[in-house]
Structure 1
């Protein structure tokens, strides 16, 4: 056990940013008994969130990429506490965790409280339904591993059902509608098309992807990938249409029912599965939590040192916070590269703070964007590579760079040797196992 007089740094949220921060601080402070580092998460395992669309499509077996927090904590000199944060007491410097229930809905862990001297909130984000009627009841939101696995199960069942039914020429047996033309929606659409083509080769001789499955992508904006460069968005839209993904832009969804999706224009899309990926917000309980300042989507408002605006002992990183970029500029975008940059800088800042030095100032650096369209293509733009503008890339180079993003995260968390070993094991599994998960 750690000495109780040590400075207590509590990190809530074990996503990309939170886990990377815990590992860095554990190695540099926890290992030397200079601070007590505690990571809190509602799940016992970590999975890199950008992979969830692959889990949903079945092209990634989550068990191959999941890592146990307890094992990571032991290897990296921090403590792990299982639980979901639901409260904060700034006066006594405590956070509260809701009771944890088991698969039978019985209490596994009671309500808990954890003390802190410095608190880092790295809770990520969740889907924002904007109050749209029927979304919570009839849509799947790919916020968690459980949701991605539930989607995959429904997809496989729909394919099996189509296999058993008589063919009706020219009619889709079922439709998957994806609401939201951002990175998640676009990557999921391409991955689904690839999955169903592979699935039809595993004995489903009566199942034809082009006839029995229709993939529809809907967005309220004038084009897909509104936050990304127009050239990249145009290349993605062209690729999606080439694989028969039906794209509807300038279409606002007003209601989702068990039968399908209704647009403000009056257009109705009959749908067997509906995925909502149209926006994000921070967790609802963060809204003005114990007097902290938050914005309209519940993100905590920060200063340039990543401290919350009303409490210098509380920091935040990643999607759950609104970090300033400068006068007249929007907040730092909710992207994985921002969370990684913030975790890296905050680790240095907290070490400086314990040594009596000033905190560092965070400045966001946009390295560009990459999107994977399954086996069909990978496209992206690299920022800052030229004196002005950006470089547009696609094909093999873009695929390699997209793959390297995940590997970089693994190196930070697991180290070079374990990442190298895991990569070889994954390569062997791809030869030994089916190309997609079939159950």
Structure 2
């Protein structure tokens, strides 16, 4: 197998680049490699975890996207890279019971390679974190959280008649966007679950949610006004928020932070991310965080034919600060590399202008009705605080813009309408 451009990783940036290049260059020139069959927009995983979004309705088939956008899709995990021969190895695929090999190990030759493999959880050496927490890195993590939550709700309902204090203790570690959004979504979902058959459970009393954050405030990278508004919304939803606290140990039924032990049947780790460990084994330069070290043109340093974008790339801006791991950064980098490859295809000289991250602000979801955030103005340092219904509509539009990039305008509109109608005829939470 061989392709002019191989993209490894079908997240927000990698998939958008594959779709846009595929539509221009065709399947013989563009290939996407991913270890999963379906794509889901990562910022929506907290909704999957809470059960308010059905991953089987939300997920987009890579094979369908490859057909519609004219790129080639290869299913399997990347195992190794031969930079001299310009080849990568994709692992075999086995059946669910691991007894039958469905696809063999494969080698893929390339002229240019783009690494877009995203990030994974950074546990910072906290004892028990890897064993006793769930991190929302992928759809299977979110589904595992949802199924565990459903099981715990059922057990609490059964115990309620003999143990009035029965309930669920959920601890979320990390007060960034993922942790805050999950806490809000979970509170909203718990009320719906209670109405759908868990009649002895009172959501705010029996589903006890605690959010632990090491910084002095939640959403620390965002403006203080956004943080304060988010805190108020969480407190209105009976979410206990504890800041300036460090988790020191996690057990099967508790979380220890300093001198305080919090009971916990379900723990989510949302306190930090890092690049996937296998990147250090590829023979490419990495920084301390494990990210690939890239230059201003997004090429991995020392290699003019290998690029990286998104969370796995350590890209410094003009001020020396690394580009933050956000979906909008991956989107911008995909567009930058699109121009790079198209200029090369057309025989034009490389881009003279280096990649520069533009911060358009951040929005944080608080369920189906409201969001909060800040929008960056064209003047440096100028921002506007937004909240309520307007912010919510802007948050939803970000998801639609991503779909528009990979599905096109008409299909995105049809899909949005179909999902709106489906939600009117199905449960508000997934119950199976």
Q: Pairwise mapping of residues 173-252 of structure 1 onto structure 2 (< 5 A)?
A: 173-252=167-246
Q: Distance in 1 between the 2:241 and 2:161 partners? A: 25
Of 406, 423, 426, which aligns to 2:419? 426
Q: Distance in 2 between the 1:359 and 1:128 partners? A: 36
> What SS is found at the alignment partner of 1:261?
strand
The farther-off stretch of 140-149 and 378-387 is 378-387
Name the structure 2 match of 1:322.
314
Q: C-alpha root-mean-square deviation of aligned residues, in Å?
A: 1.7
Cα distance change of structure 1 residues 100 and 72 upon mapping to structure 2, 3 Å threshold: same
1:39 Cα shift? Answer: 0.2
Runs of 4+, deviation exceeding 6 Å? none
- Does structure 2 retain, via aligned residues, the 8 Å contact 1:172–1:214? no
> What SS is found at the alignment partner of 1:312?
coil
Cα distance change of structure 1 residues 388 and 91 upon mapping to structure 2, 3 Å threshold: closer
Q: Distance in 1 between the 2:393 and 2:63 partners? A: 31
1:354 Cα shift? Answer: 2.4
- Does structure 1 retain, via aligned residues, the 8 Å contact 2:360–2:377? yes
Q: Distance in 1 between the 2:236 and 2:163 partners? A: 21
1:351 equivalent in alignment to 2:345: no
Q: Distance in 1 between the 2:193 and 2:39 partners? A: 28
Of 116, 122, 134, which aligns to 2:116? 122
Q: Distance in 2 between the 1:350 and 1:228 partners? A: 34
1:108 equivalent in alignment to 2:102: yes
Q: Distance in 2 between the 1:93 and 1:280 partners? A: 29
- Does structure 2 retain, via aligned residues, the 8 Å contact 1:281–1:299? yes
Q: Distance in 2 between the 1:388 and 1:222 partners? A: 22
Name the structure 2 match of 1:13.
9
Of 302, 305, 317, which aligns to 1:313? 305
Q: Distance in 2 between the 1:211 and 1:191 partners? A: 16
Map Cα deviations across residues 96-140 of structure 1 (whole Å, 9 max, x no partner): 122222210233222221111000000011111112111111111
- Does structure 1 retain, via aligned residues, the 8 Å contact 2:255–2:262? yes
1:167 Cα shift? Answer: 5.5
Count of residue pairs brought into register by the alignment: 429
> What SS is found at the alignment partner of 1:334?
coil
- Does structure 2 retain, via aligned residues, the 8 Å contact 1:305–1:359? no
Q: Distance in 2 between the 1:194 and 1:63 partners? A: 21
TM-score computed with the length of structure 1 as normaliser? 0.94
- Unmatched tracts of structure 2, length 5 or more: none
Map Cα deviations across residues 285-309 of structure 1 (whole Å, 9 max, x no partner): 102521x111122110111111001
> What SS is found at the alignment partner of 2:424?
helix
- Does structure 1 retain, via aligned residues, the 8 Å contact 2:121–2:274? yes
Q: Distance in 2 between the 1:172 and 1:191 partners? A: 22
TM-score computed with the length of structure 2 as normaliser? 0.96
> What SS is found at the alignment partner of 1:275?
strand
> What SS is found at the alignment partner of 1:223?
coil
Cα distance change of structure 1 residues 168 and 374 upon mapping to structure 2, 3 Å threshold: farther
- Does structure 2 retain, via aligned residues, the 8 Å contact 1:57–1:191? yes
- Does structure 2 retain, via aligned residues, the 8 Å contact 1:171–1:211? no
Q: Distance in 1 between the 2:316 and 2:49 partners? A: 34
- Does structure 1 retain, via aligned residues, the 8 Å contact 2:279–2:292? yes
1:363 Cα shift? Answer: 0.9
Name the structure 2 match of 1:339.
330
